[in-house]
């Protein structure tokens, strides 16, 4: 008798019994991990759906609305405040149809969360109407700068915002300043004419 473990391997130095014990431990750990993973997959992911009341300053009036964290400003304006001028033409805002003014700057309402607009001054196309119609709106009517109407509110707001900063803009500057708005009907020439008319004062204020 040599006293060696019959399950040993002299050349490799690996004890067969130790190897089998180690393999068993690995298999048990793997099985336990797979069980835990399966149990975790059976548990539904937590979804935050809680709504909260916030105050928004829209067109010079304070409104209390109840929103979820995921609600966009466009949704809140249209479905809670019934301000449907801003249009949901493109969710990524590429059409410009949902343009509103936020603290005087043109922004896409579909890209803003309602909760992030607290404390900001929001103006929609509706603010340009009423008893004293804005010259931009008058110019759009005079120069027939609309067809289907889906892009029109966004263009009106964009023109108003641009001319607020550039009251003496040239035709080329107006073209460049409105390149974030799309009109699928192709009334660009009429929109430019309307903006030029406002610059020249050719519309009643």
Q: Which residue has the higher pLDDT, 146 or 156?
A: 156
Please say if the pLDDT value at position 10 is more than 90: no
Residue 22: per-residue pLDDT: 59
What is the rounded average pLDDT of the residues 98-110? 96
Please say if the pLDDT value at position 1 is more than 70: no
d(C-alpha 129, C-alpha 170), whole Å: 25
Please say whether the beta carbons of 98 and 157 come within 8 A. no
Residue 153: alpha-carbon gap to chain centroid: 18
- Give Cβ neighbours of residue 30 (< 8 Å, ≥ 6 apart): none
Please say if the pLDDT value at position 96 is more than 50: yes
Runs of H (alpha helix) within the chain = 16-42, 73-79, 135-142, 152-165, 171-177, 188-200
Please say if the pLDDT value at position 15 is more than 70: no
Residue 203: per-residue pLDDT: 75
Token representation of residue 192: 């430019």
Give the domain ranges of the chain.
13-43, 52-200
Residue 138: per-residue pLDDT: 95
What is the rounded average pLDDT of the residues 157-171? 96
d(C-alpha 67, C-alpha 180), whole Å: 28
**Interval 44-75: pLDDT, tens:** 544 446 889 999 999 999 999 999 999 999 99
Residue 46: per-residue pLDDT: 44
Q: Which residue has the higher pLDDT, 101 or 18?
A: 101
Mean pLDDT of the residues in the chain: 84
Confidence of residue 30 (pLDDT cuts 50, 70, 90): low
The answer to whether the pTM exceeds 0.75 is: no
Superfamily of domain 52-200: Beta-grasp domain (3.10.20.30)
The b/e string for 106-143 (b: 16+ C-beta within 10 A; e otherwise) is bbbbbebebbebeebebbbbbbbeeeeebbbbbbbebb
d(C-alpha 200, C-alpha 205), whole Å: 12
Please say whether the beta carbons of 77 and 58 come within 8 A. yes
Token representation of residue 78: 């249209």
Residue 205: per-residue pLDDT: 45
Residue 45: per-residue pLDDT: 46
d(C-alpha 65, C-alpha 80), whole Å: 7
Which range is least confidently modeled, 5-9, 24-28, 100-104, 111-115?
Answer: 5-9
d(C-alpha 169, C-alpha 175), whole Å: 10
């Amino acid at each position: 008798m040599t006293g060696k473990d019959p399950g040993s391997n002299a050349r490799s130095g690996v004890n067969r019994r130790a190897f089998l014990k180690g393999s068993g431990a690995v298999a048990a750990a793997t099985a336990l991990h797979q069980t835990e993973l399966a149990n975790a997959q059976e548990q539904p992911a937590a979804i935050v759906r809680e709504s909260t009341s916030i105050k928004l300053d829209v067109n010079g009036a304070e409104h209390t609305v109840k929103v979820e964290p995921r609600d966009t400003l466009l949704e809140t304006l249209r479905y809670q405040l019934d301000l449907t001028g801003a249009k949901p033409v493109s969710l990524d805002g590429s059409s410009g149809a949902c343009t509103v003014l936020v603290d005087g700057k043109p922004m896409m309402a579909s890209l803003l969360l309602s909760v992030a607009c607290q404390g900001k001054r929001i103006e929609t196309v509706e603010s340009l109407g009423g008893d004293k119609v804005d010259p931009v709106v008058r110019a759009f009517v005079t120069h027939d700068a609309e067809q289907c109407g889906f892009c029109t509110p966004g263009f009106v707001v964009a023109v108003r915002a641009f001319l607020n900063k550039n009251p003496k803009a040239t035709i080329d500057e107006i073209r460049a300043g409105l390149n974030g708005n799309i009109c699928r009907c192709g009334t660009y020439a009429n929109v430019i004419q309307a903006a030029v008319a406002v610059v020249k004062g050719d519309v009643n204020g």
